[in-house]
Chain A
Amino acid sequence: MMPAPDHWLVVPIVLPMLAAALLLLVERIRPAWQAPVSLAATVALAALAFRLVALADTDRIGVYLLGNWQAPFGIVLVLDRLAALMLSLTAVIALASLAAALRLAGRGPHFHAFFQLQLAGLNGAFLTGDVFNLFVFFEVLLIASYALLLHHAAGRTLRVGLHYVVINLIGASLFLIAASLLYGVAGTLNFADLAIKLPALPDWDAGLARAAALLLLVVFGIKAALLPLGFWLPATYGATSGPVAALFAIMTKVGIYAIVRVSFTVFGGSDSWLAGWGQPALFALGLLTIAFGAMGALATKRLIALVSYLVLISSGTLIAASTLGQAALGGALYYLVHTTLAVASLFLIAHAIADQRGPRTDRFGSGPQLVQPTLLGLLFLIGAIAAAGLPPLSGFVGKVLMLQGSGQAPFAAWFWAGVLGSGLLATFALARAGGSVFWKTQGEAVGLPMPIGDRTALAVLAIAGLFWIAGAGSAARYTSATAQQLAQPRVYANAVLGYAPVPPEAASAP
């Protein structure tokens, strides 16, 4: 008796797409229903994501064959521990961002539809099992992100948006070159099939495959804002609205996800000449990104740009840690969830502060008295502790796990210096920012109190963060099991390629 295919795997992509289509209709007929419909779809998505985590936690790799075609020939969705983790993180960030965005959505057309399409693209990128569909879902999430970035935008934002679009289009072209090069040498684009076929390539083709691998790293480096490719990030994140910046906290993690997926699942076979390919370069660039982010955080004169530089630091840390072996990778995945939540909350808090400072906005220096100095001050303190990775929050646990895990690696000392040094510098920068924003005040309060949507969003993020620290034991067990699963690309490949389609008689039965 064949087990029935698990249709839940495709729902994280289909549900937001249907919701987006429905929302376009609702926008026309009943504009007031947009927010409830969008919220309902996102809540359902979150519930589904948590169910999928429970499914992945059984160590079974879920496979879904679209159109019932056998794996290397058709399109395949794969749910392993890493994909499930990223799906639920996306859903949590989306819930918070949507709660905060409800008051902004009416300022321009189609906000909710774009938001749901963004979620469809993100979920698809995490679930897909082949290189070309990774490209397609990247484009889906990018085109939605262009629209969200430029939603009710004008002036400088437009120009920054153009930069973001152009650099991502160049990234897309390079992605296509890399993908077709891989197809040209291996004759397949399926992750699992590539993992089997690449190690067996003759020398000449192996050189081309190496070039493709490095091109892929360049493309994902653009997404993850790795050092020479990440200069677009502070300007872009600084130019958009708070809720969208909070949602974009997950966008650099897509790049990191793709780097991890490709380095381990595709190129990671232990007997393969590709194993460890590009890892030293990634390690060095990760450390340089940390240094650049820390210097930028110290140098900047705006609060929101400071948070953007913290994103760069966390990107560099995660990429460097992912190259330092299985234990460090497990720690990095734990830290990834924490840092995404922390940065998303800090973006919301920074925008709330900017909203209460009148024309001074988020620039440092004396500005008007804040309307809610105590509330915002406390929130900023908690957010800063989280982002700098200080105890007692989960960032500290994540850093300890990464540092412990990196113990045996040859260049671990550099990593320790990078992580601890950037934590110190980030603490300085945040303390200076807090002092400047909260204590150097002159004049009467001019702004409005923090909207209820932003408070709800921060509550969602805080609950997720509390769960991540209170359940740190089981969370760390999950991420370390994820790293272990990633270190066994053969298991992944066998699960995908060995998954039999539904036989025709069963498929045609009513």
Chain B
Amino acid sequence: MTEWFYASAIGVFTACGVWLVMRARTFDVVLGLAIFSYAVNMFIFVMGRLSYGAPAILSPGAPATLAHYADPLPQALVLTAIVISFAMTALVLALALKGRFVNGGDACDAEDETIVEELPR
């Protein structure tokens, strides 16, 4: 059951993220990227397989076989991925804010100028 919920959550996050990324406004795109990166992080995490109450490092109580431990590598990878996506989201937000004040709107479609809406400054 947990697997089913977990997989569905990744799917829903991915769908929302992709849909938002394809919209023509910077705010939606940034939001979409953030949600998509949640889906990606969950996916990385689950690639070490779901396990319950298993430690990731050797502990005195548990026997030293793989069956008693969670895979620590995806946990390390997902930490790196979270930090990077966090930094990148901050960068895009800074860019989007500056673009909003310089270009006077948060439309991010370079070709179609008609959708640029003037926002209050």
Contact = CB atoms under 8 A, between A and B. Distances in A.
Interface string A131-143: 0100010010001
Interface string B8-29: 0000000000000100001001
Contacts of A177: 40, 43
A29 interface: no
B33 A166 contact: yes
A166 B102 contact: no
Contact of A159 (B48, B85, B91, B108): B108
A183 interface: yes
B92 A155 contact: no
A452 interface: no
Given A173-B36, A173-B37, A177-B40, A165 B99 contact: no
A180 B84 contact: no
B21 A170 contact: yes
Contacts of A500: none
Interface in B61-92: 73-74, 77, 80-81, 84-85, 87-88, 91-92
A158 B100 CA distance: 10
Nearest to A185: B47
Contacts, number: 83
Given A166-B21, A172-B88, A176-B81, A159 B103 contact: yes
Given A163-B108, A166-B29, A158 B44 contact: no
B110 interface: yes
Contacts of A162: 26, 92, 95-96, 99, 108
Size category of the B interface is 20 to 34
A53 to B, nearest CB: 31
A428 interface: no
Contacts of A132: 77, 80
Contacts of A139: 84, 88
Nearest to B44: A180
Given A160-B110, A163-B110, A170-B33, A136 B80 contact: yes
Given A161-B95, A162-B108, A180-B74, A169 B44 contact: no
A146 B98 contact: no
Contact of B99 (A159, A179, A181): A159
A165 B92 contact: yes
Contacts of A166: 21, 29, 33, 92, 108
A176 B44 contact: yes
B95 A165 contact: yes
A156 B80 CA distance: 33
B37 to A, nearest CB: 6
A387 B87 CA distance: 38
Interface string B99-117: 1001100001010000000
A150 interface: yes
Contacts of A165: 88, 91-92, 95
B96 A170 contact: no
B52 to A, nearest CB: 19
B90 to A, nearest CB: 11
Contacts of A108: none
B84 A136 contact: yes
7 contacts: A143-B91, A146-B91, A158-B99, A159-B110, A162-B92, A176-B43, A180-B47
Given A166-B29, A176-B40, 18 more contacts: A132-B77, A156-B110, A158-B95, A162-B26, A162-B95, A162-B99, A165-B92, A166-B92, A169-B88, A172-B85, A173-B40, A177-B40, A179-B44, A180-B43, A180-B47, A183-B48, A184-B48, A235-B110
The 7 closest A-B pairs by CB, nearest first: A184-B47, A180-B44, A180-B47, A158-B99, A173-B40, A176-B40, A139-B84
